Chain A
Amino acid sequence: MTPALLHRLILAVADDVIAHADELTELDQAVGDGDHGINMKRGFEAVRVDAGATAEKPLPDALKAIGTQLVMKVGGASGPLYGTLFMALGKEIAPDASNLSAAFASAVEAVKSRGKSQPGQKTMLDVLAPVQMALGEGGTDLSVRLPIVAASAADATIPMLATRGRASFLGERSIGHMDPGARSSALIVASVCRALEG
């Protein structure tokens, strides 16, 4: 992982999230309080501003720095969750990312713990957990397969009943809408994979 590649990765993810802010807002208006897009955009704009400096750090430190930025700037329910994801990933990952699968598994556990949540409740975990499983299975073409896993996992949240987070207050009315956190997770996974491919 060179600084140049890391820089490209950070910018790619930040730009994608920012570009989809309106979509995330709409999804969150349907089942939440409508702030997911605005919050994520603010957080990733801050990440974007610091991208150059962050990319000069070793990968673990860069991820921790991004996580901290997200905690401090995203706010809402997602700030602590995405912040924890990146911070925990940074804590476990080797500088050369050789233990990516184990580190990501650890990060997903940290999100479960932070959010007091499990897959099946219609949250970002319903994308992160399948992605982590696919990563764990390994194999070729991960950067092609993972976005597909993530996207179908996000789609799979549409018919789910929300039993965690703000959407759970809607009960049955949460059915028929994609979970915004699932969408943003899938976006980020796709973004990382695309940047690594290109």
Chain B
Amino acid sequence: MVRQMVGDSVKLAYTGGDPGGGLGTGVASIREAIDRAWSEAGVAILVDLGGAETNSEMAVEMLDDERRGRVVVCNAPIVEGAVMAATEASGGSPLETVRRTAEELSPQ
């Protein structure tokens, strides 16, 4: 869906699955996804349910100093947030703007 909106102009990675390969979430696969989506502009992470958010936060904490400041976990619904964020990002907006756009949809 995100690709439909923005084509290849935005680096995108998704991940899911627990460390055993089943349905769920895990820090290692999130870190790999951050690597795949990495660019100098940084990475905005969108998550579905609570476990994904906490694991994403831990994944970010484990990044090195250079990258940690440029990865954010957005408080936004995953589908709408991802589409909004990608659209904003494809326009060249900085990370903080991308995050704010994604989060516009969430109750504050």
Contacts and interface: CB of A to CB of B under 8 A. Distances in A.
Contacts of A75: 18-20, 24-27, 51, 55
B54 interface: yes
Contacts, number: 60
Contact of B18 (A35, A71, A165): A35
Contacts of B54: 77, 80-81, 114-115
Contacts of A185: none
B95 to A, nearest CB: 23
**A interface, by DSSP: helix, strand, loop or mixed?**
helix
A76 B28 contact: no
B45 to A, nearest CB: 14
B20 A76 contact: no
Contacts of A83: 58
A122 interface: no
A33, A74, A76, A77 pick with most chain B CB within 10 angstroms? A76
B23 interface: yes
A39 interface: yes
A158 interface: no
Interface in A67-98: 71-77, 79-81, 83-84
Contacts of A81: 54
A166 B50 CA distance: 7
B41 interface: no
A76 B24 contact: yes
A72 B23 CA distance: 15
A115 B50 CA distance: 9
B49 interface: yes
A167 to B, nearest CB: 11
A102 interface: no
Contacts of A115: 54
A42 B20 contact: yes
B16 to A, nearest CB: 11
A38 interface: yes
Interface of A: 33, 35, 38-39, 42, 71-77, 79-81, 83-84, 114-115, 165-166
Interface of B: 18-20, 22-28, 49-51, 54-55, 57-58
Given A39-B24, A75-B27, A80-B55, 7 more contacts: A38-B20, A72-B28, A75-B55, A80-B27, A80-B58, A165-B50, A166-B50
18 contacts: A33-B24, A35-B18, A39-B18, A39-B20, A71-B58, A75-B18, A75-B25, A75-B51, A76-B18, A76-B25, A77-B54, A79-B27, A80-B55, A83-B58, A84-B58, A115-B54, A165-B50, A166-B51
In order of increasing CB-CB distance, the 9 nearest A-B pairs are A75-B18, A77-B51, A75-B26, A80-B54, A75-B19, A76-B51, A80-B58, A73-B19, A76-B24
